[in-house]
């Protein structure tokens, strides 16, 4: 049996947006995000982070630092009783950066490569998936796999909302933060 899943962006969704997070000292959870992930855990969802990390391509920090950052995020979430089932990231950028990261890829959101890899690795049901993030690329990525999508107003969300006239298709829902988004997801999941 395939698992229900909620895909989450990282920066501006779970942890505070600081602009190219590159130190564990900068890793801080957005208030209530640990509680939100815990609600998903208890609700029977797999929770998977999907993150674009173009700072690697741009040479702002080495790819190796991401392991430390993700370990710190996992530690902070666990301290609040929450667990992630996976963390997937794209270090590439199509037009800005250094080889080997300067390239077109199928993993940079809104492309769906990371979601498909997570689905294969973790036996996830993409047909009932949710995608939550603060950029329109998160929304579009989720829409491309047929997921219900939530735009958060944390991180870059308010700026993204200001550009809604340019959206080809709106998100399924807009929420103030991850906690409110998870409340909506849990209500939607209960509906027949």
Q: What is the pLDDT of residue 190?
A: 85
Q: What is the pLDDT of residue 75?
A: 98
Residue of 11, 85, 134, 138 marked active site = 11
138 is catalytic: no
- Give the C-alpha separation, 2 to 64, whole Å: 32
Query: Domains of the chain (ranges plus CATH)?
Result: 12-123+144-156+171-190 (3.40.50.1000)
What is the average pLDDT across 159-181?
Answer: 96
Please, which pLDDT band fits residue 109 given cuts at 50, 70 and 90? very high
Burial letters for 72-90: b for 16+ Cβ neighbours within 10 Å, e otherwise?
bbeebbeeeebebbbbbbb
CB-based contacts of 1, cutoff 8 Å, min separation 6: none
What is the average pLDDT across 139-147?
Answer: 98
- Give the C-alpha separation, 148 to 172, whole Å: 6
11 is catalytic: yes
The percent of residues in the chain predicted with pLDDT above 90, rounded, is 96
Using the predicted structure, report yes or no on whether residue 113 has a pLDDT greater than 90: yes
Q: What is the pLDDT of residue 76?
A: 98
Mean pLDDT of the chain: 97
**Span 8-58, pLDDT tens digits:** 999 999 999 999 999 999 999 999 999 999 999 999 999 999 999 999 999
Using the predicted structure, report yes or no on whether residue 72 has a pLDDT greater than 90: yes
Using the predicted structure, report yes or no on whether residue 192 has a pLDDT greater than 80: no
Q: What is the pLDDT of residue 7?
A: 98
What is the average pLDDT across 69-76?
Answer: 98
Residue of 9, 134, 138, 177 marked active site = 9
Q: What is the pTM of this model?
A: 0.97
Please, which pLDDT band fits residue 178 given cuts at 50, 70 and 90? very high
Using the predicted structure, report yes or no on whether residue 66 has a pLDDT greater than 90: yes
The percent of residues in the chain predicted with pLDDT above 70, rounded, is 99
């Amino acid at each position: 049996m395939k698992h229900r899943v909620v895909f989450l962006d990282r920066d501006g969704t779970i942890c505070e947006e600081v602009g190219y997070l590159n130190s564990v000292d900068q890793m801080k959870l957005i208030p209530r995000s640990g509680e939100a992930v815990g609600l998903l855990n208890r609700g029977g969802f797999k929770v998977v982070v999907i993150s674009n990390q173009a700072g690697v391509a741009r040479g702002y920090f080495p790819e190796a630092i991401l392991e430390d950052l993700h370990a710190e995020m996992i530690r902070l979430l666990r301290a609040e009783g929450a667990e992630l089932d996976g963390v997937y990231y794209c270090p590439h950028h199509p037009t800005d950066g250094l080889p080997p990261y300067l390239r077109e890829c199928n993993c940079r959101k809104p492309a769906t490569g990371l979601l498909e890899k997570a689905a294969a690795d973790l036996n996830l049901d993409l047909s009932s998936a949710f995608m939550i993030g603060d950029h329109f690329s998160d929304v579009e990525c989720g829409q491309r796999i047929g997921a219900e999508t939530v735009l958060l107003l944390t991180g870059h969300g308010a700026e993204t909302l200001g550009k809604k006239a340019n959206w080809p298709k709106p998100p399924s829902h807009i929420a103030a933060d991850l906690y409110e988004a998870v409340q909506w997801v849990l209500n939607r999941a209960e509906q027949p």
